[in-house]
């Protein structure tokens, strides 16, 4: 990206919580923590000190289908970034004492997520939507599933998970391509592949979860089965979600908040996985109005699915999404992360121009057609966390939508 004084490097792996058997739930996330406790010739403090000494930052994240490590730094810091990242994924120390200590840290993270209603409610709905499957288990795992992890088992898991045949190195910003390729060969070229079977096929099961808690507001999530990451109708689904609840001009915001005062915060989102996906609605509402909010939300989904958007709504959604795309394209870390993810999914990165063309090609009928697919499943998942009076909102959403 000419003219920039900074760069971003991402190492992304096609692997995460979906690859875990039930008795190893949370191991991918635990491993992501552990590699920062020492790698190569660096102790934990040295990893961050070396990066920050050159003005950089370092971070990592574990999801269901990807684990990623990222460094943002100044022009000239590419050799350090590549060396540190290759040490993290291929040469972590995995000290037994640190493993036990980090289990306690993750246990605190699990407790923190449980204590945070607008976090835990998403975990609850995920468990219902994909019940009995890896996609339905928490990425953090549980205290019980993490307990057996020892050095030998974690190292074996690392070798399987961080396999170079499922790994992408992406860099953006002040980067020289020849230098990047040479550094990649030096830091990653000798890694041995450990092929792994694809995770089991995901199936949206549906169902309703409820947790009564003495807090002021009910936290609500409603989900419908949607599309996987490679589905050709995915651009239309993204527009559907934007029109439904993507901003202050969206149908849900105007109907639920502005016209009825049912919620302070309400939005819609879509989450694609490799072979499945969800369309979701999140809202925070007064408990005694949760069922009404659920019914209004269902009515807006059905109206958009059956009649499609207006031309003005479709035009607005395209403009908003294109703006977000190009703003992301101007950020080195966003661009590197997106390119890495797309290469893992499609085998190559997609240009901003190509994605813009996909969006522009969508018609009112395309959005209506994808809405019909959402309703065709005939099932929903929900989670309600808050005062007892909010109970039954999930069932009310499903009944209003499907009768």
Local structure of residue 403 (DSSP, 8 states): -
C-alpha to C-alpha distances, 106 to 46, 56, 73, 121, 186, nearest whole angstrom: 22, 26, 28, 19, 33
d(CA 324, CA 19): 31
Percent of the chain surpassing pLDDT 70: 100
pLDDT of residue 403: 83
> What are the catalytic residues?
32
d(CA 122, CA 282): 9
SS3 readout for 206-263: CEEEEEECCCCCEEEEEEEECCCCCCCCHHHHHHHHHHHHCCCCCHHHHHHHHHCCCE
Alpha-carbon distance 243 to 121, whole Å?
Answer: 24
Name residues of the chain where pLDDT drops below 70: none
pLDDT digits (tens, 9 = 90+) for 232-247: 999 999 999 999 999 9
Q: For 338-371, what is each residue's pLDDT tens digit? A: 999 999 999 999 999 999 999 999 999 999 999 9
Q: Residue 258 CA to chain centroid, in angstroms? A: 29
Question: How far is 242 from 267, CA to CA, in rounded Å?
Answer: 9
Residue 49's pLDDT is 97
pLDDT at 197: 87
Task: Give the three-class secondary structure for 205.
Answer: coil
CA distance 200 to 24: 15
User: In order of start, what are the domains of the chain with their CATH numbers?
Assistant: 6-188 (3.30.830.10), 207-402 (3.30.830.10)
Q: State the Cα–Cα distance between residues 328 and 324, nearest whole angstrom.
A: 6
Is the alpha carbon torsion for 362, 365, 368, 370 positive or negative? negative
pLDDT at res. 145: 98
Provide the pLDDT for residue 193.
93
CB atoms within 10 A of CB 98: 19
């Amino acid at each position: 990206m000419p003219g920039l004084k900074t760069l971003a490097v991402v190492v992304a792996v096609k692997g995460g919580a979906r690859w875990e058997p039930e008795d190893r739930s949370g191991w991918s996330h635990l491993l992501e923590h552990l590699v920062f406790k020492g790698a190569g010739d660096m102790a934990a403090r040295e990893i961050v000190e070396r990066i920050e000494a050159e003005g950089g930052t370092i971070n990592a994240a574990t999801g269901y289908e990807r684990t990623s490590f990222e460094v943002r730094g100044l022009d000239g810091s590419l050799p350090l970034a590549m060396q540190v990242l290759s040490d993290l994924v291929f040469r972590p120390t995995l000290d037994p004492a640190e493993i036990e200590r980090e289990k306690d840290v993750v246990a605190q993270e699990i407790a923190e997520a449980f204590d945070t209603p607008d976090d835990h409610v998403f975990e609850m709905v995920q468990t219902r939507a994909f019940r009995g499957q890896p996609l339905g288990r928490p990425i953090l795992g549980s205290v019980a599933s993490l307990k057996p992890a020892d050095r030998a088992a974690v190292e074996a898991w690392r070798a399987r998970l961080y396999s170079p045949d499922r790994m992408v190195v992406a860099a953006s910003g002040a980067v020289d391509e020849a230098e990047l390729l040479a550094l990649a060969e030096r830091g990653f070229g000798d890694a041995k592949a450990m092929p792994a079977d694809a995770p089991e096929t995901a199936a949206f099961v549906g169902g309703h979860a409820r947790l009564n808690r003495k807090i002021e507001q009910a936290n609500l999530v409603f989900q419908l089965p949607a599309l996987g990451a490679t589905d050709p109708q995915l651009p239309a689904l993204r527009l559907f979600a934007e029109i439904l609840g993507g901003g202050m001009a969206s149908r849900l915001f105007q109907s639920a908040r502005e016209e009825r005062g049912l919620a302070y915060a309400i939005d819609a989102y879509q989450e694609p996985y490799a072979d499945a996906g969800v369309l979701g609605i999140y809202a925070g509402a007064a408990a005694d109005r949760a069922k009404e909010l659920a019914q209004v939300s269902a009515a807006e989904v059905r109206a958009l699915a059956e009649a499609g958007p207006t031309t003005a709504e479709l035009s607005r959604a395209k403009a908003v999404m294109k703006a977000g795309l190009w703003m992301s394209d101007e950020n080195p870390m966003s661009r590197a992360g997106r390119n890495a993810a797309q290469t893992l999914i499609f085998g190559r990165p997609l240009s901003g121009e190509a994605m813009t063309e996909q969006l522009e090609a969508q018609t009112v009928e395309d959005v209506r057609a994808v809405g019909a697919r959402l309703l065709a499943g005939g099932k929903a998942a929900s989670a309600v966390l808050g005062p007892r009076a909010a109970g039954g909102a999930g069932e009310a959403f499903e009944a209003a939508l499907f009768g």
